[in-house]
A and B are shown apart, each in its own frame.
Chain A
Amino acid sequence: MTGSFLARNPSVPLVLGLLALATVIVTVMAASGGVSTSFVKTLGMTLCLALAALAMDLVWGYAGILSLGNIAFFALGGYMIGMWLMTARTEAIVAESLAGQAIPPTPAEIRDAVGGQIFGVVGSTEFPAIWAFSGSLPAQLALVVLVPSLLALVFGWLAFRSRVTGVYLSILTQAMTLALALYLFQNDAGLRGNNGLSGLQNLPGMGGVPQSTVSLWFLWSSALMLGLGYVLCAWVVSGKFGAILRGIRDNEQRVRFLGYPVEGFKLAVFTLSAAITGVAGALYYPQAGIVNPAEMMPIASIYLAVWVAIGGRGRLYGAMIGAMVVSLVSSFFTSGQLPDLGLGPVRIVWVDWWLVILGLSFVAVTLFAPRGLGGLVDLWSQRRRPARHGADLGPDRGSFREEEAEA
């Protein structure tokens, strides 16, 4: 625990530098027409996913809480910003169309027309109560952080105080995500049911700005938030707080017996992770254009864990690498650019087979490389673990001696 923050976290300047460099390169290439707008968007979304993976690594890699609910916080962030985007944009459109009429509209008429536009698909024209702040950008931006944090706080308080840990906690968080998804699928939940919020790629009041510029703005803000998130996470895990988190991960009972309020630490890191994930979602969905409850189905929540595991949990840059590599490779395979492969009677269509490959490679990483892609950095930096006998048990159990882990 000595030395400056940067000295203790040599990865921070490196990551920030690489991020800035990549952003500049992409910006220059986009300006010269070297990369398409959709690819810039893909990159921007990848940065948001990396931020979400970072938050996931904070709870899983450092505190040992495998939360399968983070995707719910991600989608909630998207919903919160989406409410403002939809309301503001629809208001602009409605005001424009009503302005052509002989008699200027009253505020109540505008409100009704906007409500009819937004909620017409679910057979309603009224604004539900949860849209009360949708007209105000600062309020919705605050909700982007507050709503996921509050959900995490309440859920975490309930779960941690009853000492639900390990796999049970994972299943419980998964159940929470499923419950939220099923709730949002209902039309009377007030968030347009399975239609979700759409048209989010159009920024209100920016009708004249082409998407190529907007996509760059989002790339920059995503990179900025990722950089800030990285510094924040590195700061959180590098001090005493981080040491206790790792202690909880490795042996919760011992930390409790040493007198630390384990539940409080867990709750704090879980809530922080939810807030970061909410911000990532709020930046991701305007680039994706649509957010709906299907984003929260069980498979999606495990993807986050997959990225972190493939990248190497327990190290922040590992989570980022994992999210970026998997998401970019995934968009490469599913883009349909790869020619089909004919293997006798079986025809390999990559769009279909990609999920099979992903699933199996995930098994392979778990079995053969518990340290993930981030483990490669150890080879390069010549950092060797102490020689312990037996199998490599990964970052948490790996701190045990072999006999201890077996017991």
Chain B
Amino acid sequence: MTRIFKTALAALWLTLGAVAAQAGPVQDLLQEQGDLIEQSSRRTIQPAIEAIVASGLPRVQPVLQAWQDKALWRDGEGRFWRVIEEGGAEILVDVDTGERIGPAETDAMAQIKPNSGIRALIGTALVQFQLSDPDPARRREALVSISRDPEPELLAPLRAAIETETDADLHARKIRLERLLTMRFGTDEAGRVAAIEALSTDTAVETRAALNPLLTTRLAVVPAGATPEGNLARALQPGGEELSITAAYARLVDAGLAPARPSAADIRAALEAHREGGRVGGVALETLGDPAARARAYDALAREGLVPPRVEESDVAAMLGAHDFFDVYAEPSAAVTDAARAAITSIGIRVGALQGVDIGLDALSLASIYFLAAIGLAVTFGVMGVINMAHGEFIMMGAYTAYLVQQIVPDRTLSLIAALPAAFIVTFVAGVAMERLVIRHLYHRPLETLLATFGISIALQQLAKIIFGTQARPLTAPDWLGGAWIVNDVVGISHIRIAIFVLALMFLGFFLFLMKRTRLGLETRAVTQNPGMAASVGIDPNRVNMLTFGLGSGIAGIAGVAIGLYAKVTSEMGADYIVQSFMTVVVGGVGNIWGTLAGAAMIGGLQKGIEVLNPSNTLAAQTWMIVAVIIFIQFRPRGIIALRGRAAGD
């Protein structure tokens, strides 16, 4: 008895509890719209969604979300529940409190199944909740989804969400998105024009992409002298740049204003189809290699009505002359298209200026790469006068050393710090060895030096190929060098290029210090100007030459680390830079570090400048850059900064 009572009591409590839990404003709201919700018809659902949104209840959003996700259920008594799945079990959730009630018995309940149209409507309604979501990430997501899939209905909630935005970046984005949507879907002309004008200083890719569709045109054709209806963009002349004769005639054919013109292939196929015993239209088959005979045969077929007649060039011209061609905007409002055109022009100018800045940055970074590659040569070739064709291979050795260091030291930053001195030491030793074994015996014989060092270059390159294989080895930059510094959609530069620029500046300072402020620099300058005199005042020319050459090679090794990070490490990477490096030194003026700097700036600037004319073709840019350099040498054979007097060596 007690047990029965207890059970009954528990059941009553449960029921009471459940009922109590359901007595809430959201449930009431849902009950009010219950029939419409259950009906699930695209045509009648809108008032229900609007009523739910208009209630302004905080718990409405999860309910709408559940509805959209088909997770809203109705039990036997007509009450609405959210059902969530957790670990395979279905759990009943109260729509008002969000409390978990217990396991759901979905067998006894009906699922609300909105179709895709209704789900889209719910989604639109949900956007305004997301737009004012406390989580900035959610708000950002909502903005991205709107800009990806803009709808006229989203305009109102977006406008409502601008005022309350606290995050400055998101605020700016919302304003831009609002303008983009207004521009596209706005109902009053003045508002759209205002939105377009407000956008005319905005260089973002998104804005540019949104403005262009406003100016889509179609090709309209009318009898000569008439004007087509709609918002005219411009009149077109067939045979002009914008409208070829073929395209204009094709438009006439499409409009049914002219007969289709049989192509050469059509004529050929027609002749082939109407062969009769070695003749077509009375013309012998063998003679059809002649275009005139072909025309005769086809005309004969056309006279018999077997094929559509040929259209002569003169007919085409007459037909085109009898019609006028216009581009007509799809957008009916002239004010809007005018504003859009003005905005595109103004944005174009701004983008052009920004691209100029971006190209300037690119040229600067290319110039620093050339400078880095050439600065070792500025020592060995510029100061000592030794042609070292294996210079590129020293760059390669530096890069491979960094690669090997990276294999031993896993931490990217540490390995980079270790690689710089390691590359210097390896290439310094290689340079000293090369000077002692080969170059020392070839002073004053520049052409022989060129050839001998080229032999070494071939051997080193092939050795690297044998040891490391032909595929490129990765030299990974540390994470802090991996990103890019992005100013806006147009201007940006990767950190690694900035680092190369800084490294180039450091080398410039180092070189100046070494040559002008140290004993070795003094001795080097003395030995290169007059070895006999230098020797007689107690400088050992052999030792100085050896150290200077080693130094130049060591710098090449460090440059190799930087270039390896920026490009890729292969056995041929040095050969890619050798001609450009020599040109940098020669163009700049031999024997002067400022000249090398100017040469690098000129070569880098020229290459990027030419690339602007034809951006897709870097090969052409390199070709014309070299041609420009060859012509430049005509006017300043001694380079930009030429040494004069005794230092020039003659």
> A residues bordering B, Cβ < 8 Å?
66, 101-109, 155, 158-159, 161-164, 166-168, 170-172, 174-176, 178-180, 182-183, 185-186, 188, 298-299, 302, 305-306, 309, 349, 352-353, 355-356, 358-363, 366-367, 370, 391, 393-394, 397, 405-406
CB pair B288 A359 closer than 8 Å: no
Evaluate contact between B294 and A106: CB separation under 8 angstroms.
Answer: yes
**Does B121 have its Cβ within 8 Å of any Cβ on chain A?**
no
Question: Given A102-B285, A103-B288, A366-B455, are A182 and B623 neighbors across the interface (CB < 8 Å)?
Answer: yes
Given A182-B620, A299-B458, 9 more A-B residue pairs with CB atoms under 8 Å apart are A102-B275, A107-B289, A168-B637, A171-B582, A186-B623, A362-B454, A367-B452, A391-B441, A405-B444
Residue of A103, A107, A182, A352 near B465 (CB, 8 A) is A352
Interface of A (DSSP majority class): helix
Taking CB atoms, residues of chain B closer than 8 Å to A305 are: 451, 454
Given contacts A186-B619, A370-B448, contact A104 B575 (CB under 8 A): no
Total A-B pairs, Cβ < 8 A: 162
The CA-CA distance from A180 to B623 in the complex, in Å, is 7
Contacts of A101 in B (CB 8 A): 272
Residues of A within 8 A of B620 (CB): 182-183, 186
Residues of A within 8 A of B286 (CB): 104
> A349 vs B469: C-alpha distance in the bound complex, in angstroms?
13
Kindly state the separation between the CA atoms of A168 and B633 in the bound complex, as whole angstroms. Answer: 10
Contact call A353/B444, Cβ cutoff below 8 A? no
How far apart are the CA atoms of A109 and B272 in the complex, in Å?
Answer: 15
Assuming the contacts A103-B271, A186-B619, asked whether A178 and B626 have C-beta atoms less than 8 A apart, the reply is yes
B234 touches A (CB below 8 Å): no
CB-based contact B438/A172 at 8 Å: no
Question: Which residues of the partner chain A approach B441 to less than 8 Å between Cβ atoms?
Answer: 367, 391
**Min CB gap B440→A, angstroms:** 10
Contact A299 B575 (CB under 8 A): yes
Query: Contacting B631 at CB < 8 Å: which of A158, A309, A367?
Result: A158
Q: Quick check: is B622 within 8 A (CB to CB) of the other chain? A: yes
A306/B455 contact (C-beta < 8 A), A171-B582, A298-B578, A352-B462 known:
yes
Q: Which residues of B contact A367 (CB under 8 A)?
A: 438, 441-442, 452
Chain A, Cβ-Cβ closest to B590? A168
Minimum CB–CB distance for A323 against chain B, Å = 15
Cβ of B144 within 8 Å of any chain A Cβ, yes or no, is no
Q: Mark B449-469, 1 if CB is under 8 A from A, else 0.
A: 011101111111111011000
Interface: B627 (CB within 8 A):
yes
Q: How far is the CA of A298 from the CA of B446 in the complex (A)?
A: 18
A172 to B448 alpha-carbon distance, docked (Å) = 17
Looking at chain B's contact residues, the main secondary structure is: helix
Show 22 A/B contacts (Cβ-Cβ < 8 Å), sorted by A: A66-B450, A104-B287, A104-B288, A104-B289, A106-B289, A107-B289, A108-B264, A162-B633, A164-B637, A170-B450, A172-B586, A172-B633, A176-B630, A179-B626, A180-B623, A182-B623, A183-B619, A186-B620, A355-B459, A359-B457, A363-B455, A406-B444
Contact flag A168-B586 (CB < 8 Å), given A103-B272, A175-B630, A185-B619: yes
Range, interface on chain B: 35 or more
Interface residues of B in 260-275 (CB under 8 A from A): 264, 268, 271-272, 275
Chain B residues with Cβ below 8 Å from A178 are 579, 626
B445 within 8 A of A: yes
The reply to whether the CB of B290 lies closer than 8 angstroms to some CB of chain A is yes
- B465 contact set on A, CB distance < 8 A: 352
Minimum CB–CB distance for A350 against chain B, Å = 12
Q: Give per-residue flags for B279-293: 1 if the beta carbon is below 8 A from chain A beta carbons, else 0.
A: 010000111111100
- From 525 to 577 in chain B, residues with beta carbon under 8 angstroms from any chain A beta carbon are 575
Instruction: Report the bound CA distance from A370 to B629 in whole Å.
Output: 33
What residues of B have a CB within 8 angstroms of the CB of A158 in the complex? 630-631, 634
B617 within 8 Å of A (CB atoms): yes
Closest to A101 in B: B272
Within the complex, which residue of B289, B290, B455, B579 is in contact with A362, where a contact is CB–CB below 8 Å? B455
In the complex the two chains form, is B619's CB within 8 Å of A358's CB?
Answer: no
With A102-B275, A363-B452, A366-B448 known as contacts, the answer to whether A162 contacts B623 (CB < 8 A) is: no
Q: What residues on B are CB-neighbors of A391 within 8 Å?
A: 441
How many angstroms between the C-alpha atoms of A180 and B268 in the bound complex?
Answer: 43
Q: B450 touching A167 by the CB < 8 A rule?
A: yes
- Decide if B405 is an interface residue (CB 8 Å cutoff): no
Are A176 and B626 neighbours in the complex by a CB distance under 8 Å? yes
Residue ID in chain B nearest A396 by CB atoms: B447
In the complex, are the beta carbons of B629 and A175 less than 8 A apart?
yes
| A393, B447: Cα distance in complex, Å | 11
A102 contacts across to B, CB distance below 8 A: 272, 275, 285
CB distance from B580 to the nearest CB of A (A): 9
Taking the nearest CB of chain B, how far is it from the CB of A301, in angstroms? 10
> Of B438, B446, B579, which one neighbours A175 at CB under 8 angstroms?
B579
Check B627–A179 contact: CB distance below 8 A.
Answer: yes
Report the nearest A residue to B582, measured CB to CB. Answer: A171
Asked if B583 CB lies within 8 Å of chain A CBs, one says yes
Most buried by B among A298, A305, A352: A298
Q: Please name all residues of chain A whose beta carbon is closer than 8 Å to the beta carbon of B633 when the two chains form the complex.
A: 159, 162, 164, 168, 172
- 8 Å CB interface, B482-524 against A: none
Q: Which residues in B have their C-beta under 8 angstroms from that of A167? A: 387, 446-447, 450
Residues of chain B lying within 8 A (CB to CB) of residue A394: 445, 448
CB distance from B392 to the nearest CB of A (A): 9
Which residue of chain B has its CB nearest to the CB of A349? B466
Whole-angstrom distance between the Cβ of B322 and the nearest chain A Cβ: 30
Q: In the complex where A66-B447, A166-B447 touch, is A366 in contact with B586 (Cβ < 8 A)?
A: no
Docked pose: A306 CA to B634 CA in angstroms: 29
A166 CB contacts on chain B under 8 angstroms: 446-447
